[in-house]
């Protein structure tokens, strides 16, 4: 009952005229950037971080939450009509959604994606309401050794599960950890990797790194491909609503996708990619007679619901443990730090008004998005015609002005563009960006907890194995690294045995 009372108080804050305006701006802007291919909520929030320094914290996070949710809604538009997923979690939607659009059922595909996202968002937000306080209460028993295990699990899971190469993921992670070490060592006072530049004594501003890596890197990458990329936009023809048969085939996948997406997204080793593929595979198994590969609506309804529910689940470890499990969650963690807030078990005690207003705004934003998306589908489609050169030039201008406004420093702008070039080459050679930004943000926190654990244990490294929570988390991290490679190793061993037998 405490959660319901706190939620009512959160609605009282979120329903103020000012915060409703923030929510409306957020969901509209989020849908806009979700529709535009290549610009996700992480880029948008990173761009807005320098501009929101003087905002009220509650209003800023309500707007960021709207952008986060809106980006998920809008991402289905490019997947269905352009065959270009705006986020990695939207890849599965292209398989059936684009085929539906080519058959003249693009409106129905967009409708099932929007309604499925609303259903999943509502269910997952209800789960956040009652689950987050429980997880936060449990996390109060965490000690430094446990936080080390948790952050190692987050590093390993993001590195191993995002991207197609474990080696590239590791390189990205260690590059982020290196950037996080730049500055003065808080324990010894020694300079680390400052190279004699006074502006680096306080380390690299995480906002500068985030804007450079996401906004500038993405803009440079898209600019390099403007002459090569050919886009075919399928027009939305006919009705924008599902017929009775399509609705009948969609509502169960919405529920199953929600049930898959939220718990996996809420895990420190979760994310949105895995549940979308699981949902697609499950629907394919449950409906073998559906026209798979030719526009099966079940293949849009289930994965889109799983996608939205998983993104909502990501907020659980972020708010209760301070651990981001996606790129956008990492940028939101930066936003918390800007306002001198540390997500984790004490956030619900120290800033309950903000937390519950944020959770209440998820309900409000979800309704706003449904009312905004279904009637305006044709308007969002027209936005796809914006010239890419104009769009990304504007992103570079906003990024430059925003970073310069942080401290009126040209050094910050130069660092932003240098990191942007690094981000460009990472995109060019298929290095995942998520592990790097996670290393930058959590690296200093990992170092602090690691040192604190060793101080408490008087230098005994076994403290990470004798603490039950830490030991379990480290074992799970090892499993995340090893388990994906077990089938391949077993197959290789089986081939060797068969080969040896044939020689005998």
Q: Are 95 and 369 in contact (CB under 8 A)?
A: no
Strands of 80-188 (E only): list them.
Answer: 183-184
pLDDT of residue 495: 60
Contact (Cβ atoms closer than 8 angstroms) between residue 173 and residue 157: no
Q: How does DSSP assign 50-69, residue by residue?
A: GGGTTS-HHHHHHHHHHHHH
What is this structure's pTM?
0.76
pLDDT at 498: 59
Phi, psi of 192 (to 5 degrees): -130, 120
Name the phi and psi angles at 184, rounded to 5. -95, 130
What's the pLDDT score for residue 227? 60
pLDDT of residue 421: 93
Among 431, 441, 442, CA closest to 171: 431
Minimal CA–CA distance to 331: which of 67, 141, 147? 67
What was the pLDDT predicted at 424? 92
| Residue 106, token pair as written in the block | 């693009």
Tokens of 127: 């789960």
The ranges assigned to domains in the chain are 2-503
CA distance 308 to 116: 8
CA distance 244 to 227: 43
CA distance 447 to 202: 16
Positive or negative, the CA dihedral 250, 383, 29, 439 is: positive
- Long-range CB contact pairs, 489-496, < 8 A, 24+: none
Burial of 493 (0-12, 13-18, 19+ CB in 10 A): exposed
Task: Provide the residue count of the chain.
Answer: 504
Residues 6+ apart with CB under 8 A from 496: none
Q: What is the DSSP letter of 211?
A: I
Q: What is the pLDDT along the chain (504 residues), one digit of tens a residue?
A: 477 888 888 899 999 999 999 999 988 888 887 777 666 677 777 777 777 777 888 988 898 888 888 877 777 777 777 766 656 667 778 888 888 888 888 788 888 888 888 888 889 898 888 888 888 888 788 888 888 888 888 788 777 666 567 788 888 889 988 988 888 887 777 888 887 777 778 788 777 887 888 778 878 887 787 665 555 566 666 666 788 888 898 889 999 989 988 888 777 655 666 788 788 888 888 888 888 888 889 888 888 888 888 877 888 888 888 877 777 787 888 888 888 888 887 888 888 898 999 999 989 988 888 888 777 777 777 776 677 777 778 878 878 887 887 777 888 889 989 999 998 998 888 888 878 887 887 888 888 889 889 888 888 888 898 888 889 988 988 887 777 666 666 666 556 555 655 544
Q: Given the DSSP bridges, would you call strands 191-192 and 183-184 parallel, antiparallel or unpaired? A: antiparallel
Query: What is the pLDDT, as a whole number, of residue 273?
Result: 67
Q: How far is CA 103 from the centre of its chain?
A: 32
First to last CA, the chain: 71
């Amino acid at each position: 009952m405490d959660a319901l009372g706190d939620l009512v108080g959160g609605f009282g804050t979120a329903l103020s005229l000012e915060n409703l305006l923030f929510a409306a701006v957020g969901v509209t802007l989020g849908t806009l950037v979700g529709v535009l291919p290549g610009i996700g909520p992480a880029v948008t929030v990173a761009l807005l971080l320098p501009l929101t320094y003087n905002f009220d914290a509650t209003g800023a996070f309500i707007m960021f939450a709207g952008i986060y949710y809106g980006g998920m809604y809008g991402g289905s538009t490019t997947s269905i009509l352009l065959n270009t997923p705006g986020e990695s979690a939207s890849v599965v939607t292209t398989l059936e959604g684009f085929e539906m659009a080519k058959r003249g059922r693009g409106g129905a595909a967009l409708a099932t994606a929007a309604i499925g996202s609303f259903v999943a968002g509502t269910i997952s937000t209800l789960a956040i309401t009652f689950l987050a306080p429980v997880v936060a209460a449990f996390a109060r028993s965490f000690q430094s050794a446990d936080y080390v295990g948790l952050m190692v699990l987050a590093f390993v899971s993001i590195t191993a599960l995002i991207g197609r190469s474990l080696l590239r993921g590791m390189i990205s992670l260690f590059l982020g950890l290196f950037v996080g070490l730049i500055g003065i060592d808080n324990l010894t006072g020694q300079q680390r990797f400052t190279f004699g530049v006074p502006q680096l004594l306080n380390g690299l501003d995480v906002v500068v790194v985030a804007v450079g890596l996401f906004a500038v890197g993405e803009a440079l990458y898209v600019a390099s491909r403007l002459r090569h990329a050919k886009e075919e936009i399928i027009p939305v023809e006919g009705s924008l609503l599902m017929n009775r048969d399509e609705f009948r085939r969609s509502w169960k996948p919405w529920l199953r996708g929600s049930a898959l997406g939220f718990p996996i997204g809420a895990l420190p080793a979760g994310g949105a990619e895995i549940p979308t593929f699981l949902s697609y595979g499950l629907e394919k198994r449950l409906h073998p007679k559906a026209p798979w590969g030719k526009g099966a609506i079940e293949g849009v309804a289930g994965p889109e619901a799983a996608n939205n529910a998983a993104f909502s689940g990501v907020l659980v470890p972020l708010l209760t443990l301070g651990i981001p499990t996606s790129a956008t969650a990492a940028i939101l963690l930066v936003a918390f730090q800007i306002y001198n807030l540390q997500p984790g078990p004490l956030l619900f005690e120290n800033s309950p008004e903000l937390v519950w207003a944020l959770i209440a705004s998820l309900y409000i934003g979800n309704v706003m998005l449904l009312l905004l998306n279904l009637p305006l589908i044709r308007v969002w489609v027209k936005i796809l015609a914006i010239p890419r050169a104009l769009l990304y030039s504007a992103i570079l201008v906003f990024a430059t002005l925003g970073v310069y406004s942080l401290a009126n420093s040209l050094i910050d702008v130069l660092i932003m563009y240098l990191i942007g070039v690094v981000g460009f080459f990472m995109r060019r050679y298929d290095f995942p960006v998520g592990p790097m930004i996670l290393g930058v943000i959590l690296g200093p926190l990992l170092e602090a907890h690691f040192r604190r654990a060793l101080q408490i244990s008087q230098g005994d490294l076994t403290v990470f194995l004798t603490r039950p929570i830490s030991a379990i988390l480290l074992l799970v991290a090892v499993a995340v690294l090893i388990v994906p490679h077990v089938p391949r190793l077993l197959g290789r061993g089986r081939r060797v045995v068969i080969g040896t037998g044939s020689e005998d």
